[in-house]
Structure 1
């Protein structure tokens, strides 16, 4: 049985547990959910951030993961920007780049390159995100999020960033689901989903508090995107429909996160220090978009990846022993929402970010 089938089996066996929570989830999924949007986003940037510090995984990594297995350094990654593979898990720019641009700064330097470039490149902040990692440890070697925050702490101790630098900064915390893929890969049980999701969110909340405690004024965390809509899940329906059971698990994660962020803000003297970037709603808004909104991208088949292995045994960027391609790339990455089986294209991220801005 391959990993995908195992996953579906797990997911379906989890469904019974999820029915227990679906009452809560539905409330937040409907009017209640939207009631909190404005509360959550209104003050996302009530000041002008001068620096961006980034933690998390491949949705935010701009070049830290140099592991030889990482696809982000293989052709055809980076074909749209910067024109060659440069460490982003996409054909071009990723979430970090769009957030930096909207703040009005350059994308922060990846931590790995901090000593290679001049110190003037540190002025926009620093990116500690590392593709494949999770909130907890995953099958990808370190650094998980705790270790990434340790790196940040070391840099602060080196006194490169002053207290006022940190106070005028924003942190982006990206969580795209690697903890959950790892849970399946290590044979986690169906009964264990609920406590495991709770454990991940609790640790995530501790991480956010820790980053804020180091002096960062604003901490923005991503809600989990609809994992059931990633091509790795939709290929069983020929990329026609999302896996609703997986998305129920995602809703449980997002519900816990939402409750935690409301509590964090209530406990913080300054009100809305913590905010959620609702990738779930943004992805869904893009999938449902028929191109009516001005400037919004319409994708003909948003669930189908642009770059995929010629069979499910292969992935985007894979080659055989002789270097022959084992994958195919679509004619126009700009017309595709997903780049590979997990990551959006640059155009996909642009659409998601404009959907987020409409929420903001």
Structure 2
């Protein structure tokens, strides 16, 4: 089945409030995304001039694109390849006459759900991103009243109602907490984190958001940076070489996030899809060779050699003097053989794998076929594309 038709089928089976139409032209008109570096398409680079230079972007864009990756992110594959929308422009990027007709990306690298403080990598925490959306929507609707021609560049009023509101955030809250707290203290923090997330999501609901697509957090303990810092004692690693405490915290976060998604569904008209990114990523790491990868944990772009090829003193693409010698953290010869890009983020090849598994619908809750009877007559995809 063609990718575009496939996700149309998935979304129509999942989102009951979306209009049941009889036209094959059904589509999601816009995406509004909230998150951290896993879905940042240039927000941090634009917002605080964070340097994301070469070799980032080398695989697909052939130059740095504001993404912490050699190429495309999961959000890129879902928006462009699956929904036939344009790449999402960052809210914070005003250079190059950005087009927001198909939505806007509020995600920024380093962002947390809890409010940022002076030590935060990004000042644009989830609450700030939600506030940015409110301002964005208010300003768009004001402009549309003045000049309808602006719909070529900004979303229509109807697009806000029909849009997909995507979330991938929370990893940095857990990550940062482990540097000053015990595992039990991190676990105790999770309800506080999710209370903040609930407040932000409800603000979006009050602004008209109805179709919420929520990614849980990935296996934090499998990142090379985390393993290098917290995995020096092999007894703290699981059978895959990942740090047990961090993955435990991620699992606890995800279980409580799942419960919160269930709670959201009582809101009138709310359609909430919970996507188990953790399971997709862990399956890739634990069965990497089945999917054509050769290195499940090592960073492609790093320094130090296997097994992790990561040194926290030097980031991907940097040249520094270490131990009296000038060294450069360079990328591997074939990024498609690596799951991890730079010690913190995934390669384009891994992101493509993850996206393809998201699109199967097997990792979504509610199960996609539960509501199929409501849409069976909508004919939103052509069986000839199978």
User: Shorter-chain TM-score category?
Assistant: 0.7 to 0.9
Whether the 8 Å CA contact 1:109–1:124 is kept in 2: the answer is no
Paired with 1:307 and 1:222, the residues of 2 have a C-alpha distance of: 26
Whether the 8 Å CA contact 1:212–1:218 is kept in 2: the answer is no
Paired with 1:242 and 1:69, the residues of 2 have a C-alpha distance of: 32
Structure 1 residues 99 and 44, CA gap change in structure 2 (3 angstroms): farther
Structure-2 residue corresponding to 1:333: 335
Structure-2 residue corresponding to 1:43: 14
Name the SS of the counterpart of 1:76 in structure 2.
Answer: coil
Pairwise CA RMSD of aligned residues? 2.8
Equivalent residue for 1:175, pick from 169, 175, 178:
169
Equivalent residue for 2:293, pick from 299, 305, 326:
299
Deviation at 1:317, TM superposition (A): 2.3
Whether the 8 Å CA contact 2:34–2:105 is kept in 1: the answer is yes
Structure 1 residues 46 and 104, CA gap change in structure 2 (3 angstroms): farther
Whether the 8 Å CA contact 2:288–2:296 is kept in 1: the answer is no
Aligned residues: 312
Q: Which consecutive residues of structure 2, in runs of 5 or more, have no partner in the other structure? A: 1-10, 19-26, 144-154, 305-310, 365-386
Deviation at 1:116, TM superposition (A): 3.0
Structure-1 residue corresponding to 2:88: 108
Paired with 2:59 and 2:326, the residues of 1 have a C-alpha distance of: 22
Paired with 1:60 and 1:306, the residues of 2 have a C-alpha distance of: 19
Higher helix proportion: 1
Structure-1 residue corresponding to 2:69: 90
Structure-2 residue corresponding to 1:207: 200
Paired with 2:12 and 2:327, the residues of 1 have a C-alpha distance of: 44
Paired with 2:49 and 2:300, the residues of 1 have a C-alpha distance of: 20
Deviation at 1:123, TM superposition (A): 0.6
Pairing 1:255-294 to 2, within 5 Å after superposition: 255-265=255-265, 267-270=266-269, 273-289=271-287
Q: Relative contact order: is structure 1 or structure 2 higher (C-alpha 8 Å, sep ≥ 6)?
A: 2
Structure 1 residues 325 and 215, CA gap change in structure 2 (3 angstroms): farther
Whether the 8 Å CA contact 2:44–2:122 is kept in 1: the answer is no
Pairing 1:74-85 to 2, within 5 Å after superposition: 74-85=53-64
Structure-2 residue corresponding to 1:122: 100
Normalised by the size of structure 1, how large is the TM-score? 0.78
Whether the 8 Å CA contact 1:286–1:298 is kept in 2: the answer is no
Task: Encode CA deviations 1:283-318: one digit per residue, 9 max, x unaligned.
Answer: 0222244666xxxx3212211210113444222122
Normalised by the size of structure 2, how large is the TM-score? 0.73
Paired with 2:339 and 2:101, the residues of 1 have a C-alpha distance of: 32
Structure 1 residues 183 and 41, CA gap change in structure 2 (3 angstroms): farther
Task: Encode CA deviations 1:324-346: one digit per residue, 9 max, x unaligned.
Answer: 65313211011211101110001
Whether the 8 Å CA contact 2:32–2:106 is kept in 1: the answer is yes
Pairing 1:155-174 to 2, within 5 Å after superposition: 155-158=136-139, 159=141, 160=143, 161-174=155-168
Structure-1 residue corresponding to 2:115: 137
Work out which of the two has the higher radius of gyration on C-alpha atoms and give 1 or 2.
2
